[in-house]
């Protein structure tokens, strides 16, 4: 029987990649680099053999999609911010078997899902940036699931539950990564560069801190009650699908764990970012 050995909410912002390049921005995201590296260390220590990534930069408009290729091998350049991320070579083993089990379980829950193995279907940077720090030896499989930008919190809760069922059927030890921001409101283009290290509004900053407090104190039902409004009012990235999947996988309102924040909250190009590790309940194992 498979098990979830790690579940985390993580950042993937391109400024983390910029932070490791020579130049004036070198080191600006060092705490996030260290936090992502620590998540990778914990996953490996717990015997993870697959990173299952809810990728908010692989944005789908119809249904739920999995990149089920047996091998992910290419060189990446960001179409959004090519001056931040380019020439990023990667080579990871995929997990077609787990992808198919997830498709089956999402379908069993009454939703539609597809597994794709197209040669030119590459990875997005919400997977690639974390993998650079977590999976440098490329010894852990990588399986991304896209986030439907028109999905509801309820749909993504059910997907999270399907992910857990599939993992339990698989024999895998899985580290689940909800790869997306907290608030995600970008500033107007005219001032965007001035907010490289900041959040777009004090309201978003305040709500983000309130969310982190709820997670740290284990007030998960309270957070879930506000999640639809949080997504709508703070411009959730990818419909905050990754976050709803995360808590669906963890048990939703029955989850009693407390999040462990691994780096200070930070702003990046107007968005709120963090890395939080959530203890996995016994029922997920």
pLDDT surpasses 70 at 284: no
Q: Tell me: the pLDDT tens digits for 39-75?
A: 999 999 999 999 999 999 999 999 999 999 999 999 9
| Distance from C-alpha of 220 to C-alpha of 54, rounded to nearest angstrom | 20
Q: How many domains does the chain have?
A: 1
Tell me the CATH number at 14.
3.40.830.10
User: If 0-12 CB within 10 Å is exposed, 13-18 middle and 19+ buried, where does residue 108 land?
Assistant: exposed
Percent of the chain predicted with pLDDT > 70: 99
Range 241-261 average pLDDT: 98
- Distance set, CA 115 to CA 22, 31, 135, 174 (Å): 38, 35, 23, 18
> Which pLDDT belongs to residue 283?
64
Provide the domain limits for residue 212: 3-284
Nearest to 269 by CA among 38, 88, 83: 83
Q: Tell me: the pLDDT tens digits for 258-269?
A: 999 999 999 999
């Amino acid at each position: 029987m498979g098990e979830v050995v790690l579940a985390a909410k993580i950042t993937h912002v391109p400024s983390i990649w910029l932070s490791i390049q020579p130049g004036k921005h070198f080191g600006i995201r060092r705490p996030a680099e260290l936090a992502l590296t620590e998540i990778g260390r914990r996953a490996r220590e717990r015997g993870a053999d697959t990173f299952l990534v809810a990728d908010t930069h692989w944005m789908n408009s119809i249904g739920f999609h999995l990149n089920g290729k047996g091998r992910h091998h290419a060189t990446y350049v960001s179409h959004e911010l090519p001056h931040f991320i380019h020439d990023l070579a990667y080579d990871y083993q995929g997990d077609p078997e787990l992808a198919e089990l997830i498709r089956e379980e999402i379908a069993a829950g009454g939703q539609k899902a597809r597994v794709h193995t197209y040669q030119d279907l590459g990875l997005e940077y919400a997977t690639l940036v974390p993998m650079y720090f977590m999976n440098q030896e490329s010894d852990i499989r990588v399986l991304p699931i896209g986030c439907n930008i028109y999905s509801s919190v309820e749909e993504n809760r059910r997907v999270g539950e399907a992910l857990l069922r599939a993992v339990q059927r698989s024999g895998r030890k899985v580290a689940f990564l909800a790869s997306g921001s907290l608030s995600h409101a970008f500033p107007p283009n005219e001032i965007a560069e001035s907010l490289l290290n900041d959040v777009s509004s004090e309201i978003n900053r305040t709500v983000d801190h309130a969310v982190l407090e709820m997670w740290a104190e284990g007030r998960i039902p309270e957070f879930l009650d506000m999640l639809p409004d949080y997504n709508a009012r703070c411009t959730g990235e990818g419909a905050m699908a990754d976050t709803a999947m995360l808590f669906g996988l963890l048990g939703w309102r029955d989850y009693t764990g407390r999040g462990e924040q691994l780096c200070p909250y930070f702003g990046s190009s107007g968005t709120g970012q963090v890395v939080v590790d959530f203890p996995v309940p016994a029922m997920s194992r």
